[in-house]
Amino acid sequence: MSKKELAIGVLGAGGNIGHTHSQNIATYVDGARLAAVYDLNTERAEEVAKTYGAKVMASAEELIASPEIDAVVIASWDGTHADLAVKCIQAGKPVFCEKPLATTLEDAKKVVEAEKASGKRLLQIGFMRRFDPDYIKMKKILDSGELGAPLMAHCISRTRSHPKNHTTEQHITNIAIHEIDICRWLLGENLNEVAVRFPRATCFAEGTCQDPQLVLMQSDSGVLIDVEVSGNSYYGYEILCELVCEKGTIRLPVAAEPIVRSYLQCGQAIPEDWTNRFVVAYQEELQHWVDYLQGKTDVPGPGAEDGYEACKISDALIKAQTTGQWEKVEA
């Protein structure tokens, strides 16, 4: 490793995803080290710092400004992403920002513009599925052209560990957002029109949350995507995707688990949550970010514009939830 290790600071290191990123930087990512952390919850920040031998900073601003920090990971509460990203960009610091880029389209635009003003590509967004080996293989087969042009995509996103107080809108911005991005990436084009339709709600949905929902999206070339979005999937966590092409189809495999034959039944375990499903993807997105910063690859990861496009599509979907009509995505 001739290159100097990058000193990384993590904002929101005390949360679930913040801890995952901190751990991956400290123990997995090659060419980087966990230098500092910050979290509103000081106790949690200190715990993480101690475990991985990092420093605790007194504020996000201090961490961003510190000359000891080469690059920043934003893993704090969704509502803070845009503001902190802009601060990093203005400080000239490369930043890895968890999705979503912002909670409003306006804020997302501010980040995109800040980056444009900087004249540099400084932000990578946490659309980690692009680094999942299964999706990568899927895209490779699609791009080979041997199955002809893609026509449809059937997706399923089921999660059982979803926060109980989530709203119908949040199932778009927190769950379906991944299908939005991965379909854009798989197809290599934008999505321009969307709709939502609700089946009867599951008995496990709480309050006014309409769950599940069927999300429909159409790409510029006409590929039609349907997504079952379930936030209260009692039986387990599952991500499925089938790309239907002119000459064949490609399906995402399900994770391999031992096959158990027991009394009159042959079965395999289904995971409780996402913890084990995207382990490699979470590691590789950070490795790629660091590799890009160190010049080991020319190919940037997903950027601010991908976060911004996803926000536009989310917005159209949330509108479609109310109108019941097909809605155009803002150009």
Taking CB under 8 A as the rule, does residue 4 contact a second copy?
no
Measure the CA–CA gap between 62 and 325, rounded to whole angstroms.
47
Rounded to whole angstroms, the Cα distance separating 157 from 175 reads 7
Q: How far is the CB of 330 from a second copy (least distance, A)?
A: 21
Q: Which two tokens stand for residue 97?
A: 């920002």
Segment interacting with a second copy (CB under 8 A) among 78-86, 166-174, 178-186, 260-268: 260-268
Restricted to residues 8-27, the positions that interact with a second copy (CB under 8 A) are: 26-27
Q: Which is nearer to a second copy, 36 or 102 (CB)?
A: 36
Between CA 176 and CA 315 the distance in angstroms is: 12
Shortest Å, Cβ 60 to a second copy: 24
266-325: contacts with a second copy (CB under 8 A):
266-272, 324
Rounded distance, CA 301 to CA 296, Å? Answer: 13
- Pick 137 or 164: Cβ nearer a second copy: 137
**Among 251, 297, 322, 323, which residue interacts with a second copy (rule: CB under 8 A)?**
251
Considering beta carbons, is residue 4 or 92 the nearer one to a second copy? 4
Q: How far apart are CA 272 and CA 274, in angstroms?
A: 7
Q: Least distance from C-beta 92 to a second copy, angstroms?
A: 28
The C-alpha angle 183, 72, 69, rounded to 5 degrees, equals: 155
Read out DSSP for 171-234? IIIIIIHHHHHHHHHHHTS-EEEEEEE--PPPTT--TT---SEEEEEEETT--EEEEEEES--T
Residue type, 187: L
Give me the least distance between CB of 216 and a second copy, in Å please: 7
Which residues within the stretch 183-222 sit at the binding site for a second copy (CB under 8 A)? 195, 197-204, 212, 214, 216, 218, 221-222
What would the x/- binding string for a second copy be over residues 73 to 112, using CB under 8 A? Answer: ----------------------------------------
Pairing of strands 224-230, 238-245: unpaired
